[in-house]
Amino acid sequence: MRRVDLRSDTVTLPSPAMREAMYRAELGDDVFGEDPTVNQLQELAAERMGKEAALFVASGTMGNLLALLTHCDRGDGAIMGDQSHTLLNEGGGSAAFGGVYLRSIRNQPDGTLDPEAIEAAIPVPDAHHPRINLVCLENTQNYCGGVPLSASYTAEVADLAHRHGLSLHLDGARIFNAAVALGVEAAELATPADSVMFCLSKGLSCPVGSMLCGDADFIRRAHRNRKIIGGGMRQVGVLAAAGIVALEQMVDRLQEDHDNARVLAEGIAEIRGLELDPATVCTNIVFFDVNSTRVNAQELCQLLREVGVLMLALGPGRVRAVTHYGIEQADVKYGLQMMRQVLQG
């Protein structure tokens, strides 16, 4: 049976060039700072984000957790959107490991946080009030449809945070998708932030890994926190090698994923029982509503799975589909064909 997996861009497989680089990677003990391939990747990642230094970590969740642990002391808080991945999908790690509480405010439909709402959420210094140390943004914003945040907006929030003595962390899991969509370099989007995390294992197609970037002192402290939570890895250059290939070869091709997502969105918009405005699709993430009288979102996804098309149901009425490396336009058209057949019975 043909298989078209649109659940997430985390299901990507490494390219042949990545596999070859992994096989040939020069290795050392990264806990001692002696893995040359990891060191090369960290230098390249820092350069791409316009930062002084970078740290290779196992996952985006680990990278965001390290940012929270490094920016905040126990009892401190961080402001973020109510639809943010860190708030909803990272297991409450900031509370479990760092005693850091998360103060959520509403994400607007375009993924942004209203600067006035951010400012209102910062408590007046007082012994009765919790202390806020950090503001977090997400670019692209997953649950708002993969929308990219502009460099000017990020700079506005950074200025606001800094005026109040706060830092800004950017969950840039898909920051290269944002950069491609906006036609800018990723560093332009990351520069206003004090720290930024980006994933190698989503659209960039690596098997494992994310990068945390910031100034040299921040990364030095994050490195210690990585050790504390068990993130020290030894001859991990076998994974870092794929990351180097990703940054050198896989960024420009993200436009192909965006184009396929638009084809998917336009096709879904024409299917009776589904609701989607294709204009809302900016990158590689497609959300649509199921208003069929025959099936709900979970039932639709189960029926599609039976014919080899995998999507992710988010509640009874909403579905997410994500295009990525390994998904061609022919796969998208097959997925649309199966959706039409399933909904027509």
- Per the DSSP assignment, residues forming a β-bridge with 316 are none
Domain boundary among 194, 219, 249: 249
Q: Is 263 exposed, middle or buried (0-12, 13-18, 19+ CB in 10 A)?
A: middle
pLDDT of residue 293: 77
The residue segments making up the domain with residue 52 are 14-249
Best CA proximity match to 155, nearest among 132, 135, 177: 135
Best CA proximity match to 286, nearest among 173, 146, 149, 175: 146
Mean pLDDT of 14-20: 98
232-279 per-position pLDDT tens digit:
999 999 999 999 999 999 999 999 999 999 999 999 999 999 999 999
Q: How far apart are CA 203 and CA 253, in angstroms?
A: 9
Contact 244, 21 (CB under 8 A): yes
Place of tokens 């830092």: 167
163-186 per-position pLDDT tens digit:
999 999 999 999 999 999 999 999
Neighbours of 116 (CB within 10 A): 9
Domain boundary among 193, 228, 249: 249
Neighbours of 11 (CB within 10 A): 17
Whether 106 shows a pLDDT value over 80: the answer reads yes
Domain boundary among 218, 233, 249: 249
Domain assignment present for residue 232? The answer is yes
Domain assignment present for residue 3? The answer is no
319 and 293 both lie in a single domain: yes
CATH number of the domain that residue 274 is part of: 3.90.1150.10
Best CA proximity match to 255, nearest among 205, 201, 181, 323: 181
Whether 345 shows a pLDDT value over 80: the answer reads no
In Å, what is the CA distance from 230 to each residue of 53, 60, 87, 198, 331? 21, 15, 22, 20, 40
147 and 287 both lie in a single domain: no
Q: What angle do CA 309, 88, 119 make, to 5 degrees?
A: 135
- Per the DSSP assignment, residues forming a β-bridge with 231 are none
Best CA proximity match to 285, nearest among 154, 184, 173: 173
**Three-class SS state of 205:** coil
